[in-house]
Amino acid sequence: MGGPEVERLIGLLAKLPGLGPRSARRAALRLLQSPHTRMLPLATALADAARAVRTCAICGNLDSHDPCAICENPDRDRSIICVVEGVGDLWALERAHVHRGLYHVLGGTLSALDGMRPEDLNFPSLLSRVRGGEVAEIILALGATVDGATTAHWLTERLQPLGVAVTRVAQGVPIGGALDVLDDGTLAAAVRARRPA
Ligand SMILES: [Zn+2]
């Protein structure tokens, strides 16, 4: 249906998170029915974002500037770094306005099942940030899963000897790659109720 261009469009849309083949067909149809008001502006936005957005060399955030706007912001508290699994978690915390410090994106959690090893984590740059001497507290905002707990333990063992306070956000919250499903109040409470790791 619709020719190879449409098939390709649907195939690409279906790979997006939250979209299966059925939703992809509906989205493609909606776009095709409004080529000038919806489809071309979307195509331009995609191309612009792909060209402009890069990974912040300091924290791992995605932004059109490197270092990112958060790392560059002089009003952020540079003595507190919140460690998250992914950029989605960082964005969720930012939306909730619960953290006035900086971030560090690990890029995953240690996982025997998924083959994530320590060398796969964006950890060396965190280490050098802490060794820079400006950091007083590291907040671990990782998932309340076995992998999240394993990773938090692994990080704590390595960071504490450097003389920084290592804390963890309140447990019992289904976080870790899923922070953005939490409402802002729950997220804020979890960060405020952090305790020593
Ligand atoms: Zn950054």
Q: What is the pLDDT along the chain (197 residues), one digit of tens a residue?
A: 789 999 999 999 999 988 999 999 999 999 999 999 999 999 999 999 999 999 999 999 999 999 999 999 999 999 999 999 999 999 989 988 889 999 999 999 999 888 889 999 999 999 999 999 899 999 999 887 888 889 999 999 999 999 999 999 876 555 544 666 667 777 777 788 788 88
Quote the pTM value.
Answer: 0.84
**76 alpha carbon – ligand 1 mean position (Å):** 11
Q: Detail the DSSP E strand segments found in the chain.
A: 54-55, 62-63, 77-84, 101-105, 137-141, 165-168, 195-196
**4 alpha carbon – ligand 1 mean position (Å):** 40
**50 alpha carbon – ligand 1 mean position (Å):** 18
- Do β-strands 137-141 and 165-168 pair in parallel, antiparallel, or remain unpaired? parallel
Q: What pLDDT score does 46 carry?
A: 97
**60 alpha carbon – ligand 1 mean position (Å):** 6
**136 alpha carbon – ligand 1 mean position (Å):** 18
pLDDT in tens, 86-135: 999 999 899 888 899 999 999 999 998 888 899 999 999 999 999 998 99
d(CA 33, CA 39) in angstroms, rounded, equals 9
**44 alpha carbon – ligand 1 mean position (Å):** 26
d(CA 148, CA 153) in angstroms, rounded, equals 9
**69 alpha carbon – ligand 1 mean position (Å):** 7
**91 alpha carbon – ligand 1 mean position (Å):** 12
Burial letters for 15-51: b for 16+ Cβ neighbours within 10 Å, e otherwise? Answer: eeeebeeeebbebbeebeeeeeeebeeeeeeeeeeee
Q: What pLDDT score does 173 carry?
A: 56
Residue 101 three-state SS? strand
**63 alpha carbon – ligand 1 mean position (Å):** 8
**58 alpha carbon – ligand 1 mean position (Å):** 5
**86 alpha carbon – ligand 1 mean position (Å):** 13
d(CA 126, CA 106) in angstroms, rounded, equals 9
Percentage of the chain exceeding pLDDT 70? 94
What one-letter code names the amino acid at 64? Answer: S
**184 alpha carbon – ligand 1 mean position (Å):** 22
DSSP class of residue 35?
A: I
What one-letter code names the amino acid at 49? Answer: A
**104 alpha carbon – ligand 1 mean position (Å):** 8
d(CA 111, CA 92) in angstroms, rounded, equals 23
